[in-house]
Amino acid sequence: MRRQDVKARLAEGVSLETHISANPSNTKEWIVFFKKNGGRSFFLVDDQEQVESFADLNLLIAELSAMGLNIAEVHF
């Protein structure tokens, strides 16, 4: 799910269960996924549909906040 899709869904009132997890291919980076009802999950991806990863957890939290999210569960 791209950033603009996250913002659009939040504007529509859709609730996204947000999870931050260590990147399995590089445990020094973080990735984000969203759980929707029905058990479906979506990763935060860039415009090329590649999963985005973040080296700094604080910057990631700021990015999520800028998208309009205010709750995220961190898994480490």
Calculate mean pLDDT across residues 40-50. 94
Domain ranges for the chain: 3-75
Instruction: Supply the pLDDT for residue 18.
Output: 96
Instruction: Supply the pLDDT for residue 36.
Output: 77
Q: Tell me the per-residue pLDDT of 22-41, one tens digit each, with 9 for 90 and over.
A: 999 999 999 999 997 777 89
The answer to whether 9 and 16 have CB atoms below 8 angstroms apart is: yes
